[in-house]
Amino acid sequence: MVLVHGGVLGGRYAWTEQKPLATRWTLLAPDRPGHGESPAARQDFEPEAILVADQFLDEPAHLVGHSYGAIVAMLAAARRPDNVRSLTVIEPPVTGVARGVPSVDDLDADLRSVLARGAGDPAALLEGFFAVVGVPFEVPSPLPEPLAKGAVALAGARDPGEAELPLAKLRDAPHRSLVISGGHMDAFETICDRIAEGLRAEREVITGMAHLVPNTGGPFNQRLERFLTAA
């Protein structure tokens, strides 16, 4: 199972609640460019999707992506559809799929505003980002190194609203798909509904941790494992 993390934290920290799954599944949680142990780099879903497809889909795998990483996962899956056993996406901020819906347009504008900021004050940048997407944690002080590095990667990241999802290609691929949201924000519910409709995917809402759905631990892991087993 390949776990593609979202913004800020790298794979080691983003998927800590999924460690119990390692007793039954082989888990790969790579650091996206600019995160964790990876060298500094600007976040951009297109080249990152090529990396995921080339490095982790050279043989069949279950693919799971959260937030910005869900966009990367969908684009990677479209590049190597025959090697995707299943696709799970959690609250991708891909506002382009529901442009014209007021709540989604507001999220799009807020994300662009946050991502356009520099990393001169990383704590302030993270505070703004957490508020926009619904991260239910306060930014710690002093700022731990993984968060500080994540803030640098976040600053100037490519706008997720620019992503064009190949929904028809993914819908026609041989794998099954699952779309999950956290039930905390109308914009994300709308986006996830549109993607699920376009993929003819299973749809789930798991509440309790807002945007950080994987951090619910057991509820997310159990739903994911039921889906993977069926797929």
CB atoms within 10 A of CB 65: 27
pTM for the whole structure: 0.97
Between CA 203 and CA 36 the distance in angstroms is 30
pLDDT for 120 equals: 86
The number of folded domains in the chain is 1
CATH of the domain at 100: 3.40.50.1820
Whether 6 is covered by a domain: the verdict is yes
Identify the segments of the chain with pLDDT beneath 70: none
> Is 145 among the domain residues?
no
| 214 alpha carbon, distance to own chain's centre | 10
Query: CB of 119 within 8 A of CB of 109?
Result: no
Q: What is the pLDDT of residue 130?
A: 97
Q: Which residue in 138, 137, 161 sits closest to 45, CA to CA? A: 161
The answer as to whether 129 is a domain residue is: no
Fill in the amino acid letter for 230. Answer: A
What is the span of the domain harbouring residue 19? 2-106+162-230
pLDDT in tens, 167-185: 999 999 999 999 999 999 9
Question: Does residue 31 sit within a domain?
Answer: yes
Q: For position 117, what pLDDT does the model report?
A: 83
Q: What is the pLDDT of residue 11?
A: 95
Query: Considering the domain boundaries, does residue 134 fall inside one?
Result: no
Q: Does 207 map to a domain? A: yes
Question: What share of the chain in percent tops pLDDT 70?
Answer: 100
Residue 69 lies in a domain: yes
